[in-house]
Every structure is written in structure tokens, then in C-alpha cells.
Structure 1
Amino acid sequence: MRNLYSEIGEDKLRLLVDKFYDIVEQDPAVEELHLLHLRGHGINHSRSEQFRFLSGFFGGPKLYVEKFGHANLTRIHEHIEIGPTLRTLWLNCMARAVSEIKLPEETGAEVMRHLTRIVSTIGRSRQ
């Protein structure tokens, strides 16, 4: 099985998360996603927790699990309403971030396949 964390590396994963949140903060087209993060603990909190989550999700250190005891996305997001529009915005921002940090094409495609699969499970019970 591929270990995406090993392929991406810690520094590039941090860059991916930072690029993603830079897009969320700066692109008026995804304002709804930005506002959603502002209602929580804020963007800086989201940056660090998303890095923790993705580290383990991609096969690296399970930093999120070490801190919170689980990495269940439904539980992580149970306090917010997430429907198809927000999921699509999130995936589009992540696809842009993957492209902008210039991951190898095959690695970027694999990252997006995994993220699309997992993100599609968030919020289904609320629709």
C-alpha cells in the first residue's frame, strides 16, 4: 500500500495545509467556507488540526489521534452543518492547493482520490 505521507513529506504537507487555508482566507468565491471556519476556533486552529489529521490520514504520525483519541471526521464536524456545497468548495480549494504546491501528478491525483472519498462521508446524515 502506498504511503502518501512518505511521498509528500512533512514540509510539503504543511505547505499543502497552509496553501489550502490561504485560498480559503483570500478567495471571495469561497467566503462561505471561510466564514464557517471563523465560527469555530478560527483559521489558525484549523491549520494546525488539519495538519495533524492529514498526517495520520496519509500514513504518517497519528498526531490527531494522539491529541484527541480518534480521527472520525463525522465526530470532528458534528457541531456544524456540512452539505454538498461546502464539501465541493472544500474539495475545490484542496485541489487548487495540491496543484499550487506542485506535487507530482500521480501523487496529487492519489491525494485527491483519498480526500474526495473521505469528504463525501461528512454530513450525509444531516441532508
Structure 2
Amino acid sequence: MTTPSDDQEVDNSPTAYELLGGDAPVRALVDRFYDLMDLEPAYVDLRHVHSPSLADARDKLYWFLSGWLGGPSLYIERFGHPRLRARHLPFSIGIKERDQWLACMMQAMNELEVEPNLAARLHQAFFQTADWMRNKGV
């Protein structure tokens, strides 16, 4: 067993996964996100990037977010490293799709009453990831 040296600090602060409330709230966030994508006309371009059934996408995002937020590494246990950009290259993702993804996730967080400071922190992290996924200019 290793112990931190004097110049290393142990971060005992709760993870985003813990701050959200764990497994059930993460699943609820993903489910609301995909429900909104399916229902709201504002997300039509984002919806068209997905297959007719969202079941597989729901599971994969839930598994991914679980680990990304600091909880169990469900996605990695099933598929290995996420390789997000490589896995999304077959899909046309531009600024419009990025912005719809972010707006849809923000709406889901707002509707589920995610604590505002946590929602803002997650939005910033989601933006950085979503912007990196873009593979077309517009």
C-alpha cells in the first residue's frame, strides 16, 4: 500500500457522481436527456444523428457518464477505453449538433433540479468534450 508523500494531497472532496446522488440520478439524467431529444423540436438535428431506437445510446451514455463523473467505470468494463472522438467520427457533428446536445443536457439537468453550481461545472466540462467531438465546420 502506498501513502501520499508530503507534497501530495489526497482529494477527499465528493465526485460529481456523488454530488448528483449516485447511480439512480445519473440514469435519470440520461433518460431525461434522451426523452427530451426524442420529444423537443429544438433538438431535431441532434436526434437525426442517432439511430431510430435510442436504447443503445441511452445505455452507452449512462455507462460512460457513470465513470466520467467519478462513479463506477461501467463503460470501460464493457468496452475498454472510450475513444470518444474515434467512436463519433462516423456521425456528422458540427456546431449545431454540439449546441443542441449541450442545450438538451442543460434542460435535463434543470428539469431534474441538479444543483446550479454543479450544473454549471458539468456544462463547462460537457462543452469542452462536445466541442472536441466536432468533425465538421458548421
Among 43, 55, 66, the alignment partner of 1:44 is: 55
* Structure 1 segments of 4+ aligned residues over 2 angstroms from their partners: none
Structure 2 residue aligned with 1:109: 120
Deviation, 1:121, is: 0.4
Once the two structures are superposed, residues 40-64 of structure 1 have per-residue CA deviations (whole angstroms, 9 ceiling, x without a partner) of xx31111110001111111111111
Partner SS state of residue 77, structure 2:
helix
- 2:59 pairs with 1:79: no
Structure 1 residue aligned with 2:101: 90
Structure 2 residue aligned with 1:4: 16
Q: Which runs of 5+ in 2 are unaligned?
A: 1-10
Partner SS state of residue 97, structure 2:
helix
Q: Which runs of 5+ in 1 are unaligned?
A: none
Taking CA–CA contacts closer than 8 Å with sequence separation of 6 or more, which of the two structures ends up with the larger relative contact order? 1
- Between the two proteins, the alignment pairs up a number of residues equal to 124
Partner SS state of residue 121, structure 1:
helix
Deviation, 1:91, is: 0.3
- 2:127 pairs with 1:119: no
Aligned residues with identical type, % of pairs: 31
- Higher fraction of helix: 1
**TM-score normalized with structure 2 length:** 0.83
Once the two structures are superposed, residues 59-87 of structure 1 have per-residue CA deviations (whole angstroms, 9 ceiling, x without a partner) of 11111111111112102202111111100
Structure number with greater Rg is: 2
Structure 1 residue aligned with 2:36: 23
**TM-score normalized with structure 1 length:** 0.90
Q: Would you say the 8 A contact 2:45–2:96 is kept in 1?
A: no
